[in-house]
Amino acid sequence: MTIDIPQEYESVLNGLVASGAFPNTETALMRALELLANQQAASKANNNAEAIEAMSERVDIELLAKQQNVAPFDAGKPCPASLWPEDQSVDDFLGFVSESRKDRDSRGISR
């Protein structure tokens, strides 16, 4: 099979082969086309679940947590660190955030 590609793309593929990233230009081109197909599938996806399915590499969350030595958070147990002041409600926090944004906006600071 023969595929005509622009000269600048051919140069990129040849550079990848020369760097040792791929054994030959055909393999590099096939990988580039695979990535393009996955990208197009993800961009056409109607929702996040379809986009995740279209991705070429998926991450096993449990394996990642184990690799990073992260334990699941149990909302039923008290947090070992005091992350949230006991005397402050969620409404207090949201009010603080809202006021902070108003202050920032009134000073001309962009987000």
Contact (Cβ atoms closer than 8 angstroms) between residue 37 and residue 31: no
What is the model's pLDDT at position 91?
86
Please tell me the pTM assigned to this model: 0.36
What is the model's pLDDT at position 33?
85
Which CA distances in Å does 14 have to 3, 6, 8, 81? 15, 12, 10, 54
Give the dihedral of Cα atoms 75, 76, 78, 81; nearest 10 deg.
-20
Name which of 43, 62, 69, 65 is nearest 54 in CA terms.
43
Q: Per residue of the chain (111 residues), what is the pLDDT tens digit?
A: 677 777 888 888 888 888 888 888 888 888 888 888 877 777 766 556 666 666 667 777 888 788 888 777 776 776 666 666 778 888 888 888 888 888 776 666 555
Name which of 33, 32, 14 is nearest 23 in CA terms.
14
